[in-house]
Amino acid sequence: MRNLAIVGGGSWGTALAIVLAPRFARTTLWIFEPDLARQVHATRINDTYLPSFEIPSNVEVTSNLESALEAADVVLSVLPSHLVRAIYGEMLPFLRPSMLFVSATKGLENGTLLRMSEVIRQVIGRSFDPQVAAISGPTFAREVARLYPTALVVASPDAALSNAIQSAFSGPTLRLYTCSDTIGVEIGGAIKNVVAIGAGVLEGMGLGHNATAALITRGLAEMTRLAVAMGGQSSTLAGLAGLGDLVLTCTGGLSRNRNVGIELAKGRKLAEIIDSMQMVAEGVKTTNAARQLAERHGVDMPIVEQMHQILNLGLSPNEAVRRLMLRSLRQE
């Protein structure tokens, strides 16, 4: 595997281009906006999404999908969840059965409630049966771009595929572990964003560390219940893609989802918060899908329910906390 195509030029896609470029002879970074692609190509810095980090010289920046995918051995998608289906549809004429596909998107598709690897498999399946893996774990793009030590999980039921991606992506600052539980890895990566908005609400309300620790713990319980009900493994949620990512996103100042919660607690309207953000906070879109999945599988997810009430029905953060604290008492 000599050639890597990264589809999606936001902060995470750009950070992955920086850290993975030394591992491949040729890396292409596809950016949706032609003007931004030209600017990044000329300056070698993505000032819009990841300023101050120079992109290696062997990374070719383009807004042309055919050019980006030409000769690619590995296609790594780092797209917002709501764009994955459409962009893969545009990519389809340029894809080949020999390619390995890796999803780095943490979210669920609204409407279908599909995980991202399922969306990719469904779209590409119109032409051939693709080899699809997912990567997830506790990652802030800026820290990855700074070449700070980072650990991830690559998940696929196909051990040969996950081993190949592990070998290709791992290096001095990025360590990958393999896992066969794609369901657990993707559900953990999606639902932790919803819980992180709740953690931001607690922070914005000034409710202290006890409340945040309780939210993380009970949020992990909700994530695990849902993943297991969908066919995942509880042990996966105790690892990097579950607990690890949840702790980071609920406590780290670089978390977009946590910052949404902080602003909600200040009394700002959701639409105003979203309009002021340059990048997507996946938890906002994932909340509805998570709630519907919980209903479909008969899983109790009170934190997700209260976040749905805050984000979509105008429930006050104070009332949401009160409802969670006064739920019927039970065993842990």
CA 116 to each of CA 89, 168, 189: distance values in angstroms, whole numbers, following the listed order: 14, 21, 11
- DSSP, collapsed to helix, strand or coil, labels residue 236 as helix
Half-sphere exposure (Cβ direction) of 307: Cα atoms closer than 13 Å: 33
Written as six digits, the tokens of 172 are 């001095």
Active site residue 192: yes
- Sequential DSSP letters for 120-185: HHHHHTTTS--EEEEEESS--HHHHHTT--EEEEEE-S-HHHHHHHHHHH--SSEEEEEES-HHHH
Q: How far is CA 206 from the centre of its chain?
A: 27
Write phi, then psi, for 26 (nearest 5 degrees). Answer: -140, 130
Q: How far is CA 217 from the centre of its chain?
A: 20
Written as six digits, the tokens of 65 are 């999908």
Of 192, 266, 269, 285, the active-site residue reads 192
Q: DSSP code of 240?
A: I
Q: Looking only at Cα atoms, what is the longest distance across the chain?
A: 60
Q: Sign of torsion, CA 22 28 30 33?
A: positive
* Helix, strand, coil % in the chain, rounded to nearest 5: 55, 15, 30
Question: Which residues are designated catalytic?
Answer: 192
